[in-house]
Structure formats: C-alpha cells, structure tokens
Structure 1
C-alpha cells in the first residue's frame, strides 16, 4: 500500500475531478486493487478486494495529514467503496458529501453521486477523450454529433460548449439521461441537445433520419447483460457507421475491456467498415498509466472519406 500512501503524501490540491492514484494499471505491485479519485470536495477510495479496518485507518491518517497541509481551513471529506462480491459496500469515512454534488473538468460542470452505485456519473479515464472532442469540434464548428451510450451526456456538454450545432444523446437508462439533462442546465446549455432513452439496436430508423453526422461517439459498456456485450455487439455498430457519417466525418470508438486489445477494434473495422480510415489512438490521462497498452482504455479515431466530386 506504500505507493498509494506516497501518492497521497505528494498530491496537489485537486480542483477538477481527477484520479489521484491508479493501482489498477499494474504499475505498483501489491497495489493493484487500490484506486483513489478526487471529486472535490470529496475523495473516493476504491478497493477491488476486501481490505482491513487497519488499512483504512492508515489511509485515513495519510489523507488527514496531507489535507492539513493542503487545506487546513477545510474539512476532509472521503468515501470508501469496496467492489468485491464478498464485501461490496460504500461508506462515508469522514466529513460529508454535498448534495447536489457538482464537480468541474476544464471549465465544464457535472453532477456526480459518489455515495450510491459503482459508477459516479463521470468516467475520469475518459478525460482525454472529452478533451479531444472539445478540440475537434472547436476546429470543426456546427457539427451534428451522435452520442451513443451517452450515459450522463458529458461528451454532449463539451461538444456543445465547443460549438457543435446539435447532439443526439442516446442511452437505455432514463435516469442517466436525466442527469445528462441536468449537466446541460448546469452549464447554461438550453438548446442543441436531444435525449433518447432507447435501445440503440431498435432505434436505427430514428438515428438514421437524424443524420448524417459529422461526429459519432461510441462509448459502450464492455459487458452489460441484456444491453451490450462488446464481443458480439460492437460489430453491429461498426457496420452502421459508414451510412451514418457525413463525408469527412469522424467516429470516436471507445472500449474499456482489459481482455480485448487494439486488434479487436482495428481488425473488425477493417473488415466491416473498410471505407473508414484509422486516424489515431487518443492517449489516456498520464495517471492512468498501465503496464500494457493493450489492457488499458482504448479510444480510437476513424474518418470517413471526402465527398467525391464528379
């Protein structure tokens, strides 16, 4: 656990939501189960295996000591979550968590909920993906954007802030989309976004009628029974991309499945949508360093061909 304690002892005062320590990447032997996130004004410590009360007390002492150095006039707020079948729990360890709890990232504001559920409302590992969308839309204003598996619609917020013409947010979860609508309101975005609580695979007609799109974002769960299983369902999305993309349009394909490497996406795209050309892999935030690029989050950019002039 020493690497986690070292990260706490040297961390800067977090202002934006961000990961502080990423043991899951395997860069710190013996700490693979630990993750520490900052959702100001609270920290969230996650363990993917059972841990002792003594270990939690050690972390508490480390956080307390560092917090007294960083913000002595502010209370320490932190939450512990264990994500293991034998010890699944979420517990407030010190201080309090605001309600509503709003965090920032590069000037955008997002509603989060760190005391309930395993997903907190904003995936921190996708920070560079959101940055890419912001920069891409800024360079190509007035784009029509399709945001598939939109969750709480963070991509939509940054796209509209950057000058997108419109964003269609589609997700099966009405609750997630409701938070997405709140996120748009938090950022003063009153127009341009639509929210469809539908099964993507049963909504192709409506999706197609709204196109073509200058940017399509595909950020599905890797495995969600009854909704999406990457190994069989990603291919169904890839086949649709060429008809949904405008000439010169881009697709951002995301996959967070350690067991599936880059070839899973690249080989299938070559087979199922060969007219789309590979552009780049968006780098993950530095704090998410992994012993294997194949295991870490994969965010790939593809581009449709230009319109052929006769």
Structure 2
C-alpha cells in the first residue's frame, strides 16, 4: 500500500474529476487492489480485494494529512470507500461507505470545462467514466475541426450512458447528436448534463434498446461520427464477444462518406485483435486511423488489457476503397 500512500502525500489540490492512483494497471507491485479517484470535493478510494479496518484507517490518516496541507481554508475532507471484490464484481454489486465528511447533493464535477452530475455513493458506475477522458478530448477536437463544415457535424452516440460525449461534441460545434441508451435513468442524467452546460438544442435522446431501434437510428443518418461505447458484459443487454460484431456490420451504412467511427472496449480479457480482426472481416471498407491513448493516470503494464479506443474512417465518394487482408 506504500505506493498509494506516497501518491496521496504528494498529490496536488484536485479541481477536475480524475484518477489519482491506478493500482489496477500493475505499475505498482503489491498495490494492485487500490484505486484513488477524485470527484471534487470528494475522494473515492476503491479496493478490488477485501480491505481491513487498519488499512482504511491508514489511508484516511494519509488523506487527512495531505488535505491539511492543500485544502482551501475551512473545507472539510470528504472521502468514500468502495469495495469491489471478485465475488461482488461477478454479481455486479459493490459495497460503498462514506468515511468522512459529506457528499454534495446534487454532486456536480468538471472536466476540461464541461460539467457533469455524478453519484459516488451508489453503484459501480459514478456517472462519468474517468478513463474515457482522452476519448472525450478526441471527440471535442474532431467536432471543433469540423465546426465550419457546410452541413455541420452529425453524431450518433450509441450506449450513450449519461451523454458526456454528446456534451463535448455540441460544445465544440457539432450540429446534432443522437444519443441512444436503453437506460431511462442514464438518459435522464444525460439531459441534465446538457442543461448544466447551457446546451438547449442539438441533442436527441432515445431511451431505447439499440438493437430494436435501427429504423429510428438510420432515419437520422448518415453520420459524420459514430461513437460505440458499450459495456463489455451486461446480461440481457450486451455481451461484447457476440454482440459487438452486430454493431460493426452496421457501421458502413451509418457513416457518411469520410465519416469516422470511434470504437471503445473496456474488457481486459479482449485485446486489440478482437476489434481489429472483426473490423477487417465485417467492415473492410473502413480504414483504421489510430488508437487513442489512454490518460496517463491509467498507465498499464499491458496495453492489451487497458481500455481500447480505436478510430476508423469511411472512404470519401471519390476515394478508392483499399481492403486490408
């Protein structure tokens, strides 16, 4: 646990939501169970193995000592502990405790100038996936570069969750974003996120099962950018090993000429080849452009296990299609 304690002892005052310590990446031998995130003004300590009261007391003391050095005058330390052991993970559950201070309600955080509602006291997903920060930056840059396009950028955001991609795309000048997610609750938070950022037009919200909604999705296309960010495994909704291929087959028809697709996958057991091999087979006309780097805070000893965010591009109308075998 020493690497975690050393990181706490030197961390700056956090302003944006971000990861501070990523033991899961294997860069700190012996500390693989620990993760420290900040959703200002709250720290969230997560353990992926059972933690003792003594360990939590040591972490709490370290946070208190550093907070005394960096905190604005009069602001208390707020921190939450979450246990995500293997048995809990398999069941899709977690145990969460407020260890000190309080959590704002509503709890709003910032990232790169955008504001988002989060909820750190319930569930494993807090409303904003911190590892996707560079993916959101890529979308923002992509939309900004196309701000002056004649007809404007139209974006399809599949598995939209709380619609963070939509917020940054519209902030950067996209004309329209169609958000699709089967969770009414997540879509509702997504609508609030747009309101938080003063976005009053351009976004469509479809609380539907994607695989039963292709008619509506197709009618709004074609799209200059399609974002695919599904769960790796969600029983009754999406299983990457069998369902990702169903999305890939749709991409050529969804994309406008020259349009881009952003394919995301957070499944340590599935490497780059899982996406790239299937794309060569199922959508060979789309060309691989790049893998978007993950945030530095999420460094991993094995990039094959880390979050995968891949960019593909459809050919222009007058561009010959090059099929890569």
**Match of 2:4, SS?**
helix
Match of 2:322 in 1: none
Q: TM-score, normalised by structure 2?
A: 0.94
Match of 2:34 in 1: 34
Q: Residues 72, 183 of structure 1: CA spacing in aligned structure 2 closer, same or farther, 3 A cutoff?
A: closer
Q: How many residues align?
A: 310
Deviations for 1:236-292, whole angstroms, at most 9, x for unmatched residues?
000000000000000000000000000000000000000000000000000100010
Q: Which residue, 132, 135, 139 being the options, matches 1:126?
A: 132
CA distance in 1, matches of 2:174, 2:72: 42
Q: Which residue, 260, 276, 280 being the options, matches 2:286?
A: 276
Q: Which residue, 178, 182, 187 being the options, matches 1:177?
A: 187
CA distance in 1, matches of 2:199, 2:142: 19
**Match of 2:264, SS?**
strand
Indicate whether 1:167 and 2:167 are aligned.
Answer: no
CA distance in 1, matches of 2:48, 2:305: 17
Q: Which residue, 311, 314, 323 being the options, matches 1:301?
A: 311
Match of 2:254 in 1: 244
Match of 2:323 in 1: none
Shift of 1:89: 1.3
**Match of 1:7, SS?**
helix
Equivalent residue runs for 1:78-93 within 5 Å? 78-84=79-85, 85=87, 88-93=94-99
**Match of 1:115, SS?**
coil
Q: Which residue, 299, 311, 314 being the options, matches 1:289?
A: 299
Indicate whether 1:112 and 2:118 are aligned.
Answer: yes
Match of 2:48 in 1: 48
Shift of 1:308: 2.3
Shift of 1:307: 1.2
Indicate whether 1:99 and 2:140 are aligned.
Answer: no
Indicate whether 1:217 and 2:227 are aligned.
Answer: yes
Deviations for 1:138-183, whole angstroms, at most 9, x for unmatched residues?
0012200000000000000000000000000000100000000000
Equivalent residue runs for 1:243-262 within 5 Å? 243-262=253-272
Q: Give 4+ residue runs of structure 1 displaced > 6 Å after superposition.
A: none
Shift of 1:30: 1.1
Indicate whether 1:189 and 2:193 are aligned.
Answer: no
Match of 1:12 in 2: 12
**Match of 2:305, SS?**
coil
Shift of 1:72: 5.4
CA distance in 2, matches of 1:162, 1:46: 33
Q: TM-score, normalised by structure 1?
A: 0.98
**Match of 2:61, SS?**
helix
Alpha-carbon RMSD? 1.2
CA distance in 1, matches of 2:119, 2:58: 25
**Match of 2:284, SS?**
coil
**Match of 2:279, SS?**
helix
Match of 1:143 in 2: 153
